[in-house]
Amino acid sequence: MTRPYAVAGRLLLALAAGASSAPASAAGYEVIRQEQTCPKDGEPRSLRQTVIILDEAIVAAQAEADQRWTRIVVEAAEAKETALGTLGTRERLSLFVARRDGSELVPLFFGCSPNLPAAETEKAKASDSMVDRFLGNDSGARRKSAQDAFGSGIARALAQVQKRAPDIAAQPVPVGGFLRALQNAGRLADPNLGLPRFILVSPFRVADKAGLPDVATARERGFQLAEKSAIDFGRAEIYLAGASLGDTAALEFARAFFLGSKGVLAGIRSDGLPRLLPEPTTLRVHAGFIDYVGQRIPLQMRLAAAANGDLVNAWVETTVSRTTATPLSGKMLCRGEACEVHGDGRFAQVWFLDPQAEPKERGKLPFGGARNIELTLQGATASGRIFDPKVIFSGENGQRREDLRFDIQRVEGTPF
């Protein structure tokens, strides 16, 4: 078993060795590509993609400080223990740099993880000949070569930033620069490459903490900023690394901002990489309509689950006056093709301004802020309901119901 810190150590040594020769002109960064291990037709691939965005605001003139964000990126990109949520089979990895002045998001690295499924590795090993092993061209040697090339590409990409660090650190950091860089980038991830996971390596200084006196105010301002910025993470899992948000209000501001931007904050850590959720091993997409007390409202659902049945990066999206995406956590338990899904009892509660109190106007919240969702999957149909003991759903002509019911159909070949 390869430990993440051991892999990180090797890559950091490679980074230090290659820094002096890294190409980094004043005009911009060179894009490094290591795509030889990207999946070809018929090859197993990860259902997920990882996008790392390195905020130049975290770059310092001191080498010791820069080693911290370097290690974060290295561990996210190269650690081999996939059970800890690191890169999966041939998972697509993209690395971008957010300019310190907020002007743009610059591509730095594109590649695919050299991690392969165990069955494929054993099959390749069984086909090795004595000549292959004698010449050092056996499957193990080829796999190590691919891993080394991938790691070297990451090292060369990061060395460009380290070489420019003193010049970058000398520039002022404008308020909201990081968000402007995200805005200027447009679409942040191609949905055809897998379910998006973002690792934002940033101090994330986008709000004045003094202006966040309590949780409700902080969350309200987070939602407002999301609407104003119009950033769309595309229903993604998001991790903040290198951010010191401090008190509860600042953290809830961040949660609300990401939720309003179609993302869910899955982890945060100031001094390293947060603990990552495992990759999804199953994915189903359903679409249709939900009976919203007399109204047929469009409904789409992404059901992605890890090997242990935990829902991972699963979402429910509906359109009433506008399109709203709500993350779905809980369990999906299957026997053959039949599955049951049970939410964790917090479903639409994520939209509350104060999670510890009842909302004043449930009618303005998606699904009325209902906490519970359950459904069954049988064949191509997902049948379920959204409900809450404290909620009665009202419609036109005095219609009242205790739950919202739906029957939606599985959709193939459409990324969502």
pLDDT (tens digit per residue) in 222-244: 999 999 999 999 999 999 999 98
CB under 8 Å to 389, separation ≥6 — which residues? none
Average the pLDDT over 363-376 and give the result: 94
Cα–Cα distance, 190 to 86 (Å, whole number) = 20
For CA atoms 237, 240, 245, 247, give the dihedral sign: positive
What is the spatial distance between Cα 37 and Cα 67, in angstroms, rounded to a whole number? 28
**How do residues 3-30 score in pLDDT, each as one tens digit?**
333 344 445 544 544 443 334 343 489 9
- Partnered with residue 330 across adjacent β-strands are 343
Q: Which residues fall within 8 angstroms of residue 11, CB to CB, at 6 or more apart?
A: 74, 78, 151, 154, 155
Strand order across the 263-269 sheet: 32-34, 105-112, 92-98, 48-55, 195-201, 236-241, 263-269
Highest mean pLDDT among 23-27, 258-262, 363-367, 410-414: 258-262
> Residue 55: is its pLDDT beyond 80?
yes
Sign of the CA dihedral running 408, 337, 387, 318: negative
Strands (E), 184-329: 195-201, 236-241, 263-269, 282-291, 296-305, 314-319, 323-328
pLDDT band at 133 (very low <50, low <70, confident <90, very high): low
* Structure confidence by residue, pLDDT tens digits, 140-178: 666 777 788 898 999 999 999 999 999 999 999 988 899
Per DSSP, the residues of 178-194 read HHHHHHHH---S-GGG-
In contact, 268 and 72? CB cutoff 8 Å:
no
Q: What are the phi and psi torsion angles at 264 (to 5°)?
A: -125, 125
